[in-house]
């Protein structure tokens, strides 16, 4: 299926319908043509064996039976889920084409259904979770859909989600994934489905689900589907889409079933989301839902959600009023909170250590400031007292030098004045410690008389 095949066919199908209409395949008789795609044509069929009244959708592949195509019947036989269209039968037409009989889902694409019902953001998320459950189930059975888009996620008349069309699905046995088949689902295709030689796996479905969620929220596809194929592919591979809350503020050019173009304004888009105004709808989407969409739409497969279950878990968290753990994993504050919940004792111990270090630093700083303030007061006092001490020393020197004990007192006075000099130059607590050490050293080396040590403060 090459570029452009993702769009619903607008061909009348008269030739095909005339060629197949009324044809009998086993117990089924073909009715009107329901649609055409790159792989084949789908008809409404009626059971004619009289056992039960039943309708079904029959896909007839265009390629002959021996052509190398995935066996959709073999794939669907393994899947039995309420949100996946049931496989009923398969076989060969008289002209050698495979056909597949499936549950007929009389419904609308998920985005169209949500718009027509005017569903709120909350209700849209609930529909999306049902689609996630279906794909999560298929992945559990090693089946990758590879063509997820709104047209393949239908809502039936009872409001039940049904995923259809596993025509290009692959069974993935190992981690390497399967070689890309070239299938192209327009703006829902992942980068690895476009790039030549790439291998595809579960992340491709996660990307497509992210694109569907994006459109459910804001009406826009992540990238404009009306672009020419080459430019659309380039944007998918190289560019990051706007957050859906930003895209919601833009009008949308749409195509009707009749092929006519019309523009849907931002106010109308918001109103279809539970009657919201634009500002209200943007507020509901901005933040966590933006994060979830862009996380699923990451270019590198390994950087997206690891599983559909992880995507489901984050969306469910938003519905429950909680923070999405995986989409917010890059938020440092959120990571810290999660760590505290997982390992509370370790976090408490770490906080205690950090608090102790910070407290010690704060105490040391305050103590140093206090010492500096005390030293400054001492220096002020000494600056005021120094002239008087000098005058006293000079006045007494002639009288005291003749007496030995008086001379010793004069030496003590000289020592006090000498010790005051470095103190005035002190700037920190450690300078004060050094000066005290020098003073004590002078005392113990008998620079001053031992008898007068008791008189020195």
Same domain, 307 and 424: no
Residue 255's Cβ-count burial label (10 Å; 0-12, 13-18, 19+) is middle
Residue 378 domain boundaries: 345-455
> What is residue 173's predicted lDDT score, i.e. its pLDDT?
73
* Residue 448 CA: distances (Å) to CA of 135, 386, 408: 94, 20, 8
What mean pLDDT comes out for the span 87-111?
Answer: 91
Residues 244-298: tens digit of each pLDDT: 999 999 999 887 777 788 899 999 999 999 999 999 999 999 999 999 999 999 9
CA distance 172 to 33: 33
Same domain, 34 and 128: no
Helix, strand, or coil here: 457? coil
Residue 3 pLDDT greater than 50, yes or no: no
- How many domains, the chain? 3
Final residue in a domain of this structure, among 104, 128, 148: 104
Triad 97, 70, 96: Cα angle to 5°: 10
> What is residue 172's predicted lDDT score, i.e. its pLDDT?
84
CB atoms within 10 A of CB 278: 17
Q: Please give the backbone phi and psi of residue 154, each rounded to the nearest 5 degrees, phi first.
A: -100, 155
Q: What is the DSSP string of 257-299?
A: TTS-EEEE-HHHHHHTTTS--HHHHHHHHTTHHHHHHHHHT-S
Residue 13 pLDDT greater than 50, yes or no: no
Same domain, 292 and 306: yes
pLDDT band at 171 (very low <50, low <70, confident <90, very high): confident
Q: Are 128 and 82 in contact (CB under 8 A)?
A: no
Same domain, 169 and 35: no
Residues 356-398: tens digit of each pLDDT: 666 665 555 556 555 555 556 656 655 655 666 566 666 666 6
Could you tell me which of 381, 404, 397, 384 has the C-alpha nearest to residue 457? 381
Higher pLDDT, 210 or 451: 210
pLDDT band at 233 (very low <50, low <70, confident <90, very high): very high
Q: What is the DSSP string of 292-359?
A: HHHHHT-SSGGGS-SSHHHHHHHHHHHHTT---TTTTTT-HHHHHHHHHHH-HHHHHHHHHHHHHHHH
Same domain, 33 and 166: no
Same domain, 67 and 92: yes
CA distance 369 to 374: 9
* Residue 404 CA: distances (Å) to CA of 286, 393, 411: 93, 16, 11
Q: Are 31 and 101 in contact (CB under 8 A)?
A: no
Please identify which residue in the block is written with the tokens 């039968």: 89
CA distance 420 to 37: 100
CA distance 69 to 63: 8
Same domain, 218 and 332: yes
Q: Which long-range contacts (CB under 8 A, 24 or more apart) does 204-207 make?
A: 204/144, 204/146, 204/301, 205/135, 205/139, 205/144, 205/145, 205/146, 205/148, 205/308, 206/296, 206/304, 206/305, 206/307, 206/308, 206/311, 207/296, 207/297, 207/301, 207/304
Could you tell me which of 299, 303, 323, 304 has the C-alpha nearest to residue 313? 323
Q: Are 49 and 41 in contact (CB under 8 A)?
A: no
Q: Please give the backbone phi and psi of residue 373, each rounded to the nearest 5 degrees, phi first.
A: -65, -40
Same domain, 210 and 297: yes
**If phi over 0 gives left and psi between -120 and 50 gives alpha, with beta otherwise, what is residue 159?**
left
Catalytic residues: 147
Final residue in a domain of this structure, among 72, 104, 136: 104
Residues 26-84: tens digit of each pLDDT: 999 999 998 887 778 899 999 998 888 999 999 998 877 655 556 778 788 889 999 99
Q: Are strands 252-255 and 261-264 parallel, antiparallel or unpaired?
A: antiparallel
**Is pTM, for the whole model, over 0.75?**
no
Residues 317-334: tens digit of each pLDDT: 999 999 998 988 755 444
Q: Are 319 and 126 in contact (CB under 8 A)?
A: yes
pLDDT band at 446 (very low <50, low <70, confident <90, very high): low
> What is residue 213's predicted lDDT score, i.e. its pLDDT?
98
Residues 153-168: tens digit of each pLDDT: 999 999 999 999 888 8
Residue 180 pLDDT greater than 70, yes or no: no
Higher pLDDT, 303 or 349: 303
Same domain, 65 and 161: no
CA distance 46 to 28: 5
Same domain, 299 and 284: yes
pLDDT band at 421 (very low <50, low <70, confident <90, very high): low
> What is residue 257's predicted lDDT score, i.e. its pLDDT?
74
Residues 6 or more apart in contact with residue 171 via CB below 8 angstroms: 75, 142, 143, 144
Could you tell me which of 418, 421, 428 has the C-alpha nearest to residue 456? 418
Q: Quote the tokens at residue 11.
A: 């061909």
Final residue in a domain of this structure, among 342, 377, 393: 342
Same domain, 164 and 294: yes
Domain harbouring 135, CATH code:
1.10.510.10
> What is residue 452's predicted lDDT score, i.e. its pLDDT?
45
Residue 410 DSSP label: H
> What is residue 412's predicted lDDT score, i.e. its pLDDT?
63
Domain harbouring 60, CATH code:
3.30.200.20
CA distance 456 to 452: 7
Same domain, 224 and 351: no
């Amino acid at each position: 299926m090459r570029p452009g095949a993702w769009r619903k066919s607008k061909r009348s199908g008269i030739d095909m319908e005339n060629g197949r209409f009324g044809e009998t395949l086993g117990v089924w008789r073909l009715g009107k043509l329901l649609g055409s795609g790159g792989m084949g044509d789908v008809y409404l069929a009626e059971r004619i064996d009289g056992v039960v009244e039943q309708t079904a959708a029959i896909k007839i592949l265009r390629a002959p039976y021996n052509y190398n195509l995935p066996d959709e019947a073999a794939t669907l036989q393994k899947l039995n889920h309420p949100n996946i269209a049931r496989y009923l039968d398969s076989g060969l037409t008289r002209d050698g084409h495979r056909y597949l009989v499936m549950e007929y889902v009389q419904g609308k694409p998920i985005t169209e259904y949500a718009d027509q019902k005017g569903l709120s953001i909350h209700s849209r998320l609930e529909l999306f979770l049902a689609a996630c459950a279906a794909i999560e189930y298929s992945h559990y059975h090693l089946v990758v859909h590879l063509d997820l888009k709104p047209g393949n996620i239908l809502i039936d008349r009872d409001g039940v989600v049904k995923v259809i069309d596993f025509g290009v699905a692959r069974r993935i046995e190992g981690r390497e994934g399967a070689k890309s088949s070239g299938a192209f689902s327009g703006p829902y295709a992942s980068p690895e489905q476009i790039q030549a030689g790439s291998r595809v796996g579960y992340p491709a479905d996660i990307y497509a689900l992210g694109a569907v969620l994006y459109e459910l929220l804001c009406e826009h596809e992540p990238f404009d589907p009306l672009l020419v194929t080459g430019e659309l592919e380039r944007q998918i591979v190289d560019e990051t889409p706007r957050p859906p809350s930003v895209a919601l503020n833009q009008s949308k050019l749409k195509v009707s079933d009749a092929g006519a173009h019309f523009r849907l304004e931002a106010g109308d888009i918001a109103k279809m989301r539970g009657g919201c105004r634009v500002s209200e709808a943007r507020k509901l989407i901005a933040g966590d839902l933006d994060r979830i969409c862009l996380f699923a739409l990451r270019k590198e497969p390994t950087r997206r959600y690891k599983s559909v279950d992880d995507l489901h878990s984050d969306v469910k968290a938003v519905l429950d009023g909680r923070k999405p753990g995986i989409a917010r994993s890059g938020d440092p504050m959120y990571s810290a909170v999660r760590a505290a919940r997982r390992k509370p004792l370790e976090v408490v111990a770490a906080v205690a250590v950090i608090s102790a270090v910070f407290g010690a630093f704060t105490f040391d700083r305050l103590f140093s400031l206090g010492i500096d303030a005390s030293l400054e007061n001492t220096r002020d006092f000494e600056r005021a007292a120094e002239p008087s001490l000098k005058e006293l020393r000079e006045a007494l020197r002639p009288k005291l030098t003749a007496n030995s004990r008086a001379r010793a007192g004069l030496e003590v006075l000289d020592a006090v004045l000498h010790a005051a000099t470095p103190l005035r130059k002190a700037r920190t607590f450690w300078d004060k410690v050094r000066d005290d050490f020098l003073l004590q050293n002078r005392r113990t080396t008998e620079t001053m008389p031992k008898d007068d040590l008791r008189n020195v403060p």
